[in-house]
């Protein structure tokens, strides 16, 4: 019996000791796992020529697409008479956006300088038709000239009116999608160039006009950003663009500030509660992003951030937007951004597609629009640990502000309208293979650390529980055996063997007794 107890004790002590060690190891992993993950990501994320992020950043492996939906005006003559415009969306017309970075120079202060080359290649298979398809849209050249000359004298306007007639210009024209987006040489601008020079008016370069003239096949953009080598808090955030550390076209320091990243890389360890920012080189302003919900792409958990309604809100809703009113204190209704300063004075106004988040009067001013958050709101899906942008769509609509301008007959019956011209989406999404590679290189390591941590804790706790139950179980078994033994003693009473003499003295055989009684 002593041997059995000793054996049980040894087992109990052994299990308890091993369990305690496992729990201690698990607790240690709880304390250091986050540090290990933080250290591992911090070592991988900074931009340097030997880093894992560098090659993907230098030349994007994920296909980036630039998609265009043009608004075909169905009733141009009626609009000239003051009626509500009706449009029909045509698209998408899709271009593959190939980006590559050159002249890369790293500095000891934790910054990196580079030039970015951008090329757009038309993708017929991802488009509704050829980009030679035509649409009826606002005559950008004519609208620009009238807007630039609105404060000129009547004689100058009369001269320009005659030039309009000689070139048979109308406020609405048919143009190919390609020319609308990338620009075309306009004879009207060419004819007006001497007058513009005399009046010190800047017309579009090379007499070419379009929504994104000069953007294709260019290496014009120069950037300086933080490389992350001096810390990741400001990783990938912009310092300067084309030599400018701040802009000059807006009316406040806040509006002119270059803030945030460029939309492809963000600092790691993303928090849901924080707003994130990116600078748009198309709108020439910083946009914000706020958390919407958790999503998953090809098995990779992501945080979805979207541009909030107050980014383009009127100053009555968002006073910080006062600096985007140009001229100062001349603010547009909510949802609209005047970007004429970046388009040679053309009355160009940006908004969300289909006037999403615009004032109700603006949304109802044009027939044929239907705003949808899922289809028209800008979003960025970030992997929360690394800050890598796994899925994004930057969406914007370009409109032309048309109104009556004294001295120009084409506008005499116009209502003040923001005429939709096209909306654009620059988007990319990681492929299945990229998701698989990311999981194997990053997430699997993190998963393994968590498995080890919780595995040791679970195993240790299990062994401690077993060790604790051993003496309890043995005691219960011992009590059961004791009760069973006492019951047997009560039912079995062995007789004591007696000698013949004791038997004869104390007992008489029944037969003998009866015989004796008969005598």
pLDDT in tens, 430-489: 889 888 888 877 776 677 666 666 665 666 576 666 666 666 666 666 666 555 555 544
Do the beta carbons of residue 315 and residue 331 sit within 8 Å? Answer: yes
Task: Give the burial string for 39-52 (b: 16+ CB within 10 Å, else e).
Answer: eebeeebbbeeebe
pLDDT surpasses 70 at 368: yes
Do the beta carbons of residue 69 and residue 427 sit within 8 Å? Answer: no
Q: Is the preceding peptide bond at 347 cis, omega within 30 degrees of 0?
A: no
**Nearest CA-CA partner of 266 in 378, 389, 438, 381:** 389
**306-341 tens-digit pLDDT:** 999 999 999 999 999 999 998 888 899 999 999 998
Torsion sign across C-alpha atoms 451, 454, 458, 460: positive
Question: What is the per-residue DSSP string for 409-468?
Answer: GGGTT---EEEEEEEEEEEEE--HHHHHHHIIIIIHHHHHHHHHHHHHHHHHHHHHHHHH
Q: Indicate the Cα dihedral angle 374, 376, 377, 378, nearest 10°.
A: 120
Size of the chain, expressed as the number of residues it contains? 519
Across the strands, what pairs with 279? 286
Q: What is the distance between the terminal CA atoms of the chain, rounded to a whole angstrom?
A: 63
pLDDT surpasses 80 at 6: no
Joined together, the tokens standing for residue 90 give 């045509």
Across the strands, what pairs with 429? 391
Q: Indicate the Cα dihedral angle 249, 254, 255, 261, nearest 10°.
A: 110
**388-419 tens-digit pLDDT:** 899 999 999 999 999 999 999 999 999 999 99
Question: What is the per-residue DSSP string for 59-93?
Answer: B--S-EEEEEEEEEES-HHHHHTTPPPBEEEEEEE
Question: What span, in angstroms and rounded, lies between the C-alpha atoms of 204 and 304?
Answer: 38
**452-468 tens-digit pLDDT:** 666 656 665 766 666 66
- β-strands 300-306, 379-382 pairing: antiparallel
Question: What span, in angstroms and rounded, lies between the C-alpha atoms of 125 and 112?
Answer: 37
Question: What span, in angstroms and rounded, lies between the C-alpha atoms of 65 and 79?
Answer: 34
- β-strands 417-429, 64-73 pairing: antiparallel
Three-class DSSP category at 320: helix
pLDDT band at 285 (very low <50, low <70, confident <90, very high): very high
Three-class DSSP category at 35: helix
Of 88-92, 123-127, 442-446, where does mean pLDDT reach its minimum?
Answer: 442-446
- β-strands 134-138, 111-122 pairing: unpaired
Residues 6+ apart with CB under 8 A from 459: 19, 22
pLDDT surpasses 80 at 365: yes
pLDDT band at 491 (very low <50, low <70, confident <90, very high): very low
Joined together, the tokens standing for residue 516 give 């004796």
**Nearest CA-CA partner of 421 in 119, 91, 42:** 91
Mean pLDDT (the chain, rounded): 85
pTM check: above 0.85: no
Q: Is the preceding peptide bond at 327 cis, omega within 30 degrees of 0?
A: yes
Question: What span, in angstroms and rounded, lies between the C-alpha atoms of 323 and 329?
Answer: 8
Number of neighbours of residue 16 by Cβ within 10 angstroms: 17
Number of neighbours of residue 62 by Cβ within 10 angstroms: 15
Block residue for tokens 């910054």: 111
> What phi and psi, each to the nearest 5 degrees, are found at residue 436?
-65, -45
Task: Give the burial string for 345-380 (b: 16+ CB within 10 Å, else e).
Answer: bbbbbbbbbbbbbbbeebbebbeebebeeeebbbbb
Which parts of 159-203 are beta strand (E)? 172-176, 184-185
pLDDT value for 518: 45
């Amino acid at each position: 019996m002593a041997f059995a107890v000793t054996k049980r004790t040894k087992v109990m002590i052994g299990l308890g000791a091993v369990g305690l060690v496992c729990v201690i190891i698990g607790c240690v992993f709880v304390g250091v796992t986050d540090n290990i993950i933080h250290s591992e990501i911090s070592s991988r994320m900074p931009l340097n020529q030997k880093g894992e992020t560098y090659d993907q950043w230098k030349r994007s492996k994920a296909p980036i697409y630039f998609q265009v939906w043009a608004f075909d005006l169905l009733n141009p003559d009626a609009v000239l008479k003051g009626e509500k415009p009706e449009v029909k969306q045509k698209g998408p017309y899709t271009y593959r956006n190939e980006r590559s970075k050159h002249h890369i120079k790293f500095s000891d202060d934790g910054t990196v300088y580079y030039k970015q080359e951008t090329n757009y290649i038309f993708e017929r298979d991802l488009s509704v038709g050829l980009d030679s398809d035509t649409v009826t849209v606002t005559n950008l050249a004519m609208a620009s000239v009238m807007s630039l000359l609105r404060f000129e004298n009547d004689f100058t306007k009369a001269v320009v009116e005659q030039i309009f007639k000689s070139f048979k210009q109308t406020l609405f024209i048919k143009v190919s999608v390609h020319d609308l987006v990338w620009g075309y040489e306009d004879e009207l601008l060419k004819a007006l160039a001497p007058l513009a020079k005399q009046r010190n008016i800047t017309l579009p370069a090379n007499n070419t006009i379009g929504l994104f003239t000069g953007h294709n096949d260019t290496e014009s953009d120069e950037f300086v950003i933080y490389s992350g080598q001096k810390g990741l808090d400001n990783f990938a955030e912009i310092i300067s663009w084309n030599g400018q550390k701040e802009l000059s076209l807006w009316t406040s320091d806040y509006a002119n500030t270059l803030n945030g990243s460029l939309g492809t890389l963000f600092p790691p360890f993303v928090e849901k509660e924080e707003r994130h920012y990116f600078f748009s080189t198309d709108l020439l302003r910083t946009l914000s992003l706020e958390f919407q919900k958790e999503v998953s792409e090809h098995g990779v958990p992501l945080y979805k951030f979207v541009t909030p309604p107050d980014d383009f809100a009127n100053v009555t809703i968002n006073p910080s937007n006062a600096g985007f009113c140009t001229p100062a204190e001349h603010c547009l209704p909510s949802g609209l951004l005047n970007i004429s300063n970046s388009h040679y004075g053309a009355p160009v106004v940006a908004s969300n597609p289909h006037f999403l988040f615009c004032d109700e009067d603006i949304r109802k001013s044009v027939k044929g629009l239907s705003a949808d958050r899922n289809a028209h709101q800008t979003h960025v899906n970030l992997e929360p640990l690394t800050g890598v942008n796994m899925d994004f769509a930057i969406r914007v609509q370009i409109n032309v502000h048309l109104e009556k301008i004294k001295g120009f007959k084409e506008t005499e019956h116009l209502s003040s309208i923001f005429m939709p011209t096209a909306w654009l989406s620059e988007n990319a999404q990681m492929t299945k293979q990229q998701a698989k590679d990311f999981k194997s290189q990053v997430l699997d390591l993190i998963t393994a650390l968590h498995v080890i941590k919780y595995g040791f804790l679970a195993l240790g706790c299990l062994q401690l529980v077993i060790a604790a139950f051993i003496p309890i179980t043995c005691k219960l078994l011992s009590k059961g055996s004791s009760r069973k033994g006492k019951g047997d003693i009560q039912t079995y009473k062995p007789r004591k063997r007696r000698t013949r003499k004791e038997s004869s003295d104390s007992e008489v055989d029944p037969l003998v007794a009866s015989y004796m009684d008969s005598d």
